[in-house]
Structure 1
Amino acid sequence: MNPPVTVREYAWLTTDEIESGLDRAQIPPSAFKWLCDLNDSFTKAGTALAQIAGQCWLRLDNFVGVLESPCGMRLEILPKHFEQGDCIALNRKLLCKMIQTAFNLKTRQVGPADLTLFDAPLSEWVMLQFLLELDNLVKRGLRFDYHRVEEEQRYLRGQLDIVRQIRQPPGRQHQFQLRHDVFLPDRPENRLLMLALQKVCTATQQPDSWRLAHELRGLLQELPASRDVKADLKLWRNDRLMAHYQPVKPWCELVLGESMPTAVSGNWHGISLLFPMEKLFERYVEACLRRTLPACATLQRQVKQEFLCRHNEQGMFQLKPDMLITQNTRRWVLDTKWKRLDQSTNKYGLSQADFYQLYAYGQHYLRDQPQGEMLLIYPCKASFDKPLAPFRFSPQLQLWVVPFDLELGALVDRQSEPLPLWRDSSTAQLS
């Protein structure tokens, strides 16, 4: 087993002998070839995992998470956010928090599993949380289901199948054709949990997780593993009788790789958790804002109501802002960008293309507003720690560029300007 490799977004990976760090690291040739093949599959799907530079260098894109290669190398990719102090621990803690919030995951904080104390790669944290939830589920009791069994026996049990019994050949009339129900734990939910547990047993490298995983595997050894993950997920019931299964479901999906924004293609998956940082930031901001909105306001994600233009009475080029907040008759358009801004530089590092995009959103989604206001949200950094003065497209339309504090999970408002949306220390409100 190769030692784990920890890097940040946009890090360089090579097969050459170099001193490894967060921004460049050495990996085995077999893992390098696997990453190149994986990047080809991503490129065919319309995105890119990395940029290939020569025969022995590649540069990662803005994906974060964990990748496990067939040769056993585990690559952990962290966000490029903290630059000082223990960057690995801080960025890992931040990534776990963003995933937990974005996917509405509940964790059982027990001893070393606490997010501030558990200093292990992201995949180990996910596997431990899955094991803790599964352990709690087993203690509460698995759900069983009745399965119809048709068999031939020398004694009567259940219901006699008259038709099959009459058709018995001479000399076999002493055998009974029976139908009866057996109460078994063979249900879609349990099959998925068993498959995820088998995956964790072979992947975890933490002693506590390994021990708990094999204890649970011994208790559930009679359960069959799922052979069709997608089909069993569709059959997962969410009714009242299955309420105690709900806490473990999202962790099971993460372990099985079924809730990834970007799935890892190919025949080998291992324990791979891969997230586009742009999408993860968007979902994290959305989840945090939902918690702070007043009851009279609603937040819609990825709205698809307007088009850039119409041709032959048909809409063309759909406009999809990240979020749209509505309160009574007022609307706000919000868009997120995972990018560093610098208030000391010319134009702050803002993109002209992003402004064109927001202008199109405002013209179509806010055209009936007496004062249209939009928010362009970037991560809060030391070089960008307060909102910029508003950018005016017209007297009726303006754009705010606002930092978002990833640790607090809130928009930053130093109240230097009356932002249309903010959260203070005691309450959340819309102006």
Structure 2
Amino acid sequence: MPVLVVVGAQWGDEGKGKLVHYLSRSAHAVVRYQGGNNAGHTVVHRGETLALHLLPSGILLPGKVGVLAHGVVISPRGLLEEIRFVKKKKISVRGRLRISLGAHVVMPYHMRLDALRETTERPLGTTRRGIGPCYIDKVARRGIQMADFIDPPAFRKKLDFALESNAAELRRLGKPAQLKKEALRGYRRMAEELRPYCVDTVEYLHQGLSSGKRILFEGAQGVMLDLDVGTYPFVTSSSPVAGGACVGAGLAPRQLDRVLGVAKAYTTRVGAGPFPTEMPAGMAGALREKAGEYGATTGRPRRIGWLDLVQLRRAVKVGGLESLALTKLDVLSGIHPLKICVAYRFRGKPVAHFPVSQSMQFAVEPVYELLPGFSGNIRGLREFGKLPPQAKSYVRRVERLLNLPISFISTGPGAGELILRGPKVW
């Protein structure tokens, strides 16, 4: 099976980076197909915790190729900083990084607009990295692609066109600035540095598939942050679901062989938006500190909730999930009892499916099933049979209620702290 897609099954931050890092061992290339450096994929590599924002997690492994496909929006400065960051860790991407000529470029004015809208209009809890404004320009047909960025005459022409509307928007928000000067600062150096990596990634990927090479697709964010099927408007600006890999990388749906979802054994989300199973502040704070639940990109504290199977059933449907990786099971040790949300209530009536209505998403009340908690340190366990009976019961109950096999169980942040069970994904 040459194509595997790994997607977040909740609101992001599920631990996709660790799973992708592990699965990359069996892949030729690892592909990011959407989002930008608003993602924060945390990986323990050679005993050190590293957070990647644009580079695919598999790039850390020798010989693996990292691909940033045309669905990704790229901050040139951010990407070059990340390349230098991994180089300091004695990891060179030379000859192993492919950037799509069709990927759109996040410009300094995009970041200005993102920050201003968060402070002057309705805040959505964005990372302020300019991702949304960049996608807006893409849809408005005034975006700058990497093919333009590395071609100075084309870049200046496209920049002048893009600046007209963006400058007007900044004036409307009361913050005019010298946008062209900002956009050109360091431009030539960045264009020269990135030019060798830029290729037609559609052709590159199809050539790899034709020769039977395994390709791993790494989704950013999570299904519930999808622009179309997530908790709109509290969503990202792209499509993290498996189908997004087709549009964002140029593959046909029939070429996707398997889809693996990643979910925490509880639930988190960053920023504003509905969160039916959110825990009370005291309990959430204790679990946050225990698990280090702070954003890898922004450092913001994550909101914490119980595992929500209504939400996960929705993710299984729209994400095309065929199996699940359950992460951070070790964090639940010592909590008695454990709660799993199995349904919602709305105005006293049962609700079996995740609602589309925003007002209903905020108003539903979770219906919990209580399970006995477990105690003891399970961190680092690699055999399912060695888990406490209550921990095994928790995993099996989630499997049964979702009607989905759990192929991986993470028992800690380390690369080897993983239990393999169920059907193989490769």
Classify the TM-score, shorter chain: under 0.3
TM-score, scaled to structure 1: 0.26
TM-score, scaled to structure 2: 0.26
Larger radius of gyration: 1
> Where is the helix percentage greater, Structure 1 or Structure 2?
2
Higher relative contact order (CA 8 A, sep 6+): 2
